[in-house]
Amino acid sequence: MRPYWKGQIRLSLVSLGVEIYPAVVTYKTIPLHEIYKPSGQRIRHQNVVDDEAVDKDDIVKGFEYEKGEYVLLEPEEIQKIKIPSSNELEIIQFVDAGSIDPLYFDRPYFVIPQNNASENAFITIRDALKETNKFGLGQLVIGGHERLCALKPCGRGMMLEVIRYKEEVKKADTYFESIDEKKINKEQLDLAKSLIKKKSAKFDPSKFHDHYNEALQELIDSKIQHRKPKYAEKKQGAKIVNIMDALRKSLGESDEKTTKPAAKSPAKKAAPKKKAVAKKPSVKKKGAVIKPIRGKRKAA
């Protein structure tokens, strides 16, 4: 694996060599191209002006400052203002681990020591961040852009997360200001809390799938193999208007799932034991009981 960046992390007079690697892979959707249906040929797009194709060398960047009016920027001018890539990340501030809104985190990278000589300083900073529950902040220049980063402990190593700038994050109040702040019925709230508690579990990403992507791949495979596609059945949600009824019904379904035994052959129930009943003394009725007579039978 080739590192995405390698250089020095500097904390005051302490410096250590590190390498960083992307912690996530770019999610790959199934590529679909535009095809001209009558011939089955792929459609190609051209750069045109007034219906005439233009040469790639004649294309420059431009900023529209008024409708249809542009400021043109030459490639050399843009290149000139780019900040040279740096091989040093200086930690300039520390913040509490929980003080950064998750909305600001953009992309994570794994950080490892560059060599054995850097390992001692690496472990020292990692453990110090763990014990103080802090993140280190600094700015790293990659590809001509300055990126704000947070350095934090991660298992036996550390993680560097790129943080969005304030201008990149929209204000939530703009979207939430119309929501009323009214008091909710206590029973209703308790039902919702009970439902959350019942359906809480440890996060396991392997349990979740992109069903659209799977269905699209199945559709493509079925067309290649000239067969009907096999789709998983879609679950139709019941339309429930009343929130109390919906919560009660959800809790009932949750209870059934947790208390229901595995769907195997039902176990035979043991027959209930019969209670001992005290025997009533038999009342002898005349002529009702015939006892065997030993010896000679008497003539009737």
pLDDT digit string (tens) for the chain, length 300 residues? 789 999 999 888 888 999 999 999 877 788 899 999 999 999 999 899 988 999 988 999 999 999 999 999 998 998 888 877 778 899 999 999 989 999 999 999 999 999 988 999 999 999 999 999 999 999 998 777 889 999 999 999 999 999 999 999 998 888 998 888 888 888 888 888 898 898 888 888 888 888 888 888 999 999 999 999 887 666 665 565 677 788 788 888 656 555 555 455 445 455 555 554 444 444 444 444 444 444 444 443
Which pLDDT belongs to residue 241?
Answer: 63
Q: Rounded to an integer, what distance in angstroms lies between the CA atom of residue 247 and that of residue 252?
A: 9
Locate 234 and state its tokens: 């879609």
Helix (H) or strand (E) holding 111, with range, is strand 105-113
Rg, Å, the chain Cα set:
38
Fold of 5-23+82-168: Ku70; Chain: A; Domain 2 (2.40.290)
Q: For residue 142, what are the CA distances in angstroms to 75, 110, 163, 206, 265? A: 18, 16, 14, 33, 62
Helix ranges (H only) for 74-146 are 75-81, 116-132
- Chain-centre distance for alpha carbon 4: 24
Asked whether the beta carbons of 189 and 166 are under 8 A apart, the reply is: no
User: Cα-Cα-Cα-Cα dihedral of 47, 49, 52, 57, to 10°?
Assistant: -50
State the pLDDT at residue 207: 87
Task: Return the pLDDT at 284.
Answer: 45
From residue 291, give the alpha-carbon distance in Å to each of 167, 280, 288, 296, 300: 110, 20, 10, 14, 15
User: Helix crossing, 186-198 with 243-259: angle to 10°?
Assistant: 30
Pull the structure tokens for residue 282: 């038999």
Question: Alpha-carbon distance 94 to 138, whole Å?
Answer: 9
Structure token pair of residue 100: 């950064």
Residue 287 backbone zone (phi > 0: left; psi -120 to 50: alpha; other: beta): left
3-state secondary structure of 142: strand
> How is the chain split into domains, by residue range?
5-23+82-168
- Say how far apart CA 149 and CA 89 lie, in whole Å: 9
This prediction has a pTM of: 0.67
Site of tokens 């080739």 = 2
Please report the pLDDT score of residue 244 as a whole number: 78
pLDDT at position 240 = 56
Element (DSSP H or E) covering residue 246: helix 243-259
